[in-house]
């Protein structure tokens, strides 16, 4: 099952924020945004990221690497062409968002700015970055 394991490994490491994948951008933006509020919260978030990565690697080792524990698992077929054709565009999207997130961030910019202004009582985003 080499195609299944390769794609499973890719999506597993992408889910805990491997640089160059979409989840890395999300985690990075959360940490940068939180750093202006509290360094302690950044450390707590980083602890969660480390725990998630360790859990994901442990799961990956138990599920995909090593010998099959049952005879049924040893006989499972690899991905067919239709399943592979379904997952490959998802791989491309994960890499695209991770390597070039600007179109997605630009699309969200106006609504996020309006949300921040609404939540802060009309303060501009630039005023929030400078502090009180």
* d(C-alpha 127, C-alpha 98), whole Å: 29
Q: pLDDT of 54-87, one tens digit each?
A: 998 898 888 887 777 777 777 778 888 999 999 9
CB of 100 closer than 8 Å to CB of 25: no
CA pair distance 3, 84, nearest whole angstrom: 8
Find the DSSP H helices in the chain: 2-15, 22-35, 39-63, 71-74, 81-99, 102-119, 125-130
The pTM for the full model equals: 0.75
pLDDT digits (tens, 9 = 90+) for 19-65: 999 889 888 888 888 888 888 999 998 998 899 899 988 988 888 87
Q: What is the pLDDT of residue 87?
A: 93
Kindly indicate the confidence band of residue 131, based on its pLDDT and cuts at 50, 70 and 90. Answer: low
């Amino acid at each position: 099952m080499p195609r299944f394991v390769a794609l499973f490994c890719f999506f597993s490491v992408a889910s805990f924020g491997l640089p160059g994948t979409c989840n890395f951008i999300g985690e990075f933006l959360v940490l940068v945004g939180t750093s202006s509020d509290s360094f302690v919260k950044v450390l707590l978030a980083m602890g969660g990221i480390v725990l998630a990565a360790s859990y994901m690697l442990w799961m990956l080792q138990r599920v995909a690497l090593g010998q099959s524990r049952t005879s049924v698992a040893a006989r499972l077929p690899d991905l067919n062409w239709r399943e592979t054709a379904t997952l490959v565009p998802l791989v491309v999207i994960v890499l695209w968002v991770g390597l070039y997130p600007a179109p997605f961030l630009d699309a969200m910019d106006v609504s996020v700015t309006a949300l921040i202004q609404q939540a802060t009582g009309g303060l501009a985003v630039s005023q929030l970055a400078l502090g009180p």
